[in-house]
Structure 1
């Protein structure tokens, strides 16, 4: 995933908050928010965030099984 495709300044977020939330839900791509030209935060829709958290939890268990030859 490339963060560079979705980068907006804080002023854009302030002026277009409802549209940004809709876009996040539709595209399911994170949005990088900049302040003074520097990346400061990443916004992500809830569904994608939950999927990412599940992946982080499952991955170590899978890797452990592979390492043990299971």
Structure 2
């Protein structure tokens, strides 16, 4: 499994996933809505943690920096 979720996207997924999980646990909605919200939040947290998203892979989307990009980021100014 090659990583395809970059740092900015990872942070956004962590924030959105946490918000959805908290909403699912505290919302006064129907059980089905709470379960779907919990599943969506959990998926975002999982993809942020592993830095791999099957949907990104299916769409050919890759925001994870390549080795060359990482080398440039580590170079002193």
Q: So what's the TM-score if we normalise by structure 1? A: 0.29
Q: Which has the higher contact order (CA 8 A, sep 6+)?
A: 2
Q: So what's the TM-score if we normalise by structure 2? A: 0.28
Give the number of the structure whose residues are more often strand, by fraction.
Answer: 1
